[in-house]
Amino acid sequence: MEEKEFEIPVPWGQIAAKSWGNDKNQLVLMIHGTSDNAGSFDRLISHLPDTFYYIAFDLPGHGKSSHFPSNIPLHEINYMLAVNMVVNYVNREKIILIGHSWGGQMAMLYSQFYPERVLRLVVIEAVYFSPVSVDYFKQCTTEYIDSVIKLLEKSKTSKPPVYSFEKAKHAIINGRMYGKLKPEAAEPLLKRCLNSIGDNQYQITNDLRLKTKHCLFVDMDFCVSVIKEHPVTCPLLIIVGKDSTPLLEYYKEFLKELKHANPKCTTMEVNGNHDVHNNNPELVGPPIHSFLTTSNL
């Protein structure tokens, strides 16, 4: 499918996006994870049906997109605001969402907030925003506040580190929370997140504040209550890697309530780690292909 680049204007600058396919077809909006960018879906696209129109975009502070204003801390609500601006910009009555990791968490939440807009939802290596226990709430929040203050102060005087291309690639491959990226999976990310400042000298464009995002929810019981009160009603496919964290076990009670409210929810495991959609798109593509094209869901 032909690939096109474009920009979406937002009050703080622009959101960089790319599309594949015929824009007359049903739109599939793709949301990447923390510190990734729209390139994380490049290798998956060829395994998906060409009867849809796909848009992936760099979240603020990622890839080629503008950073949020420099004097504010980052909160997940900031990013939900950005996602909604993108949806409003594409101006489609109904969309399909595919999200990976943190992007999957946002896609899930968006489907709760705006169920009338979402036809189908695919979540890869995610279930819901990570809850914080009540016991840990005070420590978590004060540590967040202190770390943001330090980071904002540091940003006034320090400059982003400079890498050779080889060291930048090594950082992208190995700087993952869960497992590594294959070299060929790192390539499309590097194309969007490196800023050349000299002969074989690069800076990674990701916002340093991404290291201090604040968690939206407190306590797993709260998450279960929220999904019970505001269920995801569209057909939903959750895909997790067998070599990643045991998400399906961790969210056992949440998934029980989710599936009770939505019989069109399916969970499945595939071989691979947290970045299975990028490392092994041939394993993730077929079930998504089937999910998108099955009419009787």
Closest CA relative to residue 149, chosen from 57, 87, 221, 71: 71
Distance CA 274, CA 161 (A): 26
Distance CA(14)–CA(205), nearest Å, equals 14
Coil, helix or strand for 227? helix
Which DSSP category does 120 fall into?
Answer: E
CB 32 within 8 A of CB 16: no
CA distances from 236 to 228, 262, 268, 297 (A): 15, 8, 11, 9
Is 101 annotated in the active site?
yes
DSSP 96: E
118-124 and 236-241 as β-strands: parallel, antiparallel, unpaired?
parallel
Q: SS3 for 97?
A: strand
- Rounded Cα–Cα distance for residues 210 and 60 (Å): 10
Rounded to whole angstroms, how far apart are CA atoms 273 and 173? 13
- Nearest CA-CA partner of 113 in 265, 230, 228: 230
Q: Which of 101, 111, 196, 244 is catalytic?
A: 101
Enzyme catalytic residues: 101
